[in-house]
Amino acid sequence: MHKRREQEPPSRTTNTVEGDAGEVFQLGSSHGNIGFFRGNNFMFNLGPRWAVVIIVCLLVVAAAVAVVFVRSSPSKPSEPLAVAVKSVTDACQMSWVSPKSPTELAPVSDPSIRPNQYATWEHSRDGAQASKATFTVTAQGHEATSNVVITGIRVKVLERKPPLKGTLLSGQCGEPVNAHYVEVDLDSEQPVSFPDDLAPDTAAELTAQGLRADPIRLPYSVSSTQPEVFTVVAGTASCDCTWVIELDWSAGGKSGVQTVGNNGKPFRTTSSTNAAVCYMAEPFYCT
């Protein structure tokens, strides 16, 4: 005779509600509409399809908020140094070689065009700064509490071509200012030199232009509140050269090399030996 198996009690799910509650019911499954009440007042009801639509919309909104939060989070800079480059230009310091001939330039000459506009003027923008180019390079860290140490400065010549042919454009003034701080000889295999002493008149000219006049003494420690400014003077007598500056750095137990160009492009400097010397004056004339 078989022993009668005891019947197990049915499984139960128990929910609790805290605080003051009215009538509460538990819904296992529903195949119709779902109604919402506040007290004895009917608010609205939702069919199953609308309930699904609302849930999907809530999930989409939550995902969008998460994406916005991730995109708004500040990203870590890819380079340890924040570097700003500025070309030092005035009528007595800067000249420019345009690839156009004096005959082509004479009819369009405009004395109001300043040397710092030669790079964008439609008749000279395909040219290059001539013979000597002066730039200030400001380097600093991204954080006030974390320093980056600059341990070296080099110049890398990317390409040497014959001097650009065309017209050397100059402002009408006296002798050019001989500004030296970091001297770069683009014709040399080791272009960079750091003069130990500057001539008094050169130092005075640099100071008058708001440029540093003291020699370089590496290393330099920089932060977001403690920048260093370098004056770079690059010259050539025999090439149309493109070049970049390389800064050696160390920070947080790491070290590397950061390449610096002129607003995202390599610097370009050309000898003026293949160019006719002309002046943007009224009238336009050549020597």
Looking at residue 89, what is its pLDDT?
67
Residue ranges of alpha helices (H) inside the chain are: 48-72, 102-105, 200-208
- At 75-121, the pLDDT tens digits run 556 889 999 998 876 555 578 999 999 999 999 888 888 877 888 88
Q: Name residues of the chain where pLDDT drops below 50.
A: 27, 36, 41-44, 69-70, 72-73, 174-180
- 96 contacts 119 by C-beta, under 8 angstroms: yes
- 110 contacts 280 by C-beta, under 8 angstroms: yes
Strand partners, 276: 167
Euclidean distance between CA atoms 278 and 287, whole angstroms: 6
Phi and psi of 248, rounded to 5°? -80, 135
Looking at residue 102, what is its pLDDT?
92
Which are the contacts of 218, defined by CB distance < 8 A and separation ≥ 6? 150, 151, 152, 153
- At 130-145, the pLDDT tens digits run 887 888 899 999 887 7
Looking at residue 83, what is its pLDDT?
94
Using DSSP, state whether 144 is helix, strand or coil.
coil
pTM exceeds 0.85, yes or no = no
